[in-house]
């Protein structure tokens, strides 16, 4: 199988699904990528300090990321 080229938009879409709380395997299946690829980008985001919010409050916007500081 040939390598697939990812654009920034593809990676952002993976991270948006992950941030929304979907399991990595479900993200991979829905986007048509390998689960290892999803794990790779999620690990990179977590290493950079991004993490999913434990729970969204009713007033929070859907497109905002959690603070990078832990």
Contact 45, 59 (CB under 8 A): no
- How confident is the model over 15-43, as a mean pLDDT? 93
- How confident is the model over 44-69, as a mean pLDDT? 64
Q: What is the pLDDT of residue 36?
A: 93
Q: What is the pLDDT of residue 1?
A: 58
Closest to 55 measured CA to CA, from 19, 28, 25: 19
Contact 22, 56 (CB under 8 A): no
Q: What is the pLDDT of residue 54?
A: 55
- How confident is the model over 14-30, as a mean pLDDT? 93
Q: What is the pLDDT of residue 2?
A: 66
Check pLDDT > 50 for residue 59. Answer: no
**What residues contact 35, with CB distance under 8 A and at least 6 apart?**
24, 25, 28
Contact 36, 30 (CB under 8 A): no
């Amino acid at each position: 199988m040939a390598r697939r080229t990812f654009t920034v938009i593809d990676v952002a879409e993976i991270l948006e699904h992950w941030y929304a709380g979907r399991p990595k395997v479900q993200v991979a299946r829905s986007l048509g990528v390998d689960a290892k690829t999803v794990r790779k980008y999620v690990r990179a985001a977590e290493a950079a300090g991004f993490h999913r919010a434990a729970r969204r409050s009713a007033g929070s916007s859907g497109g905002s990321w959690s603070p990078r500081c832990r």
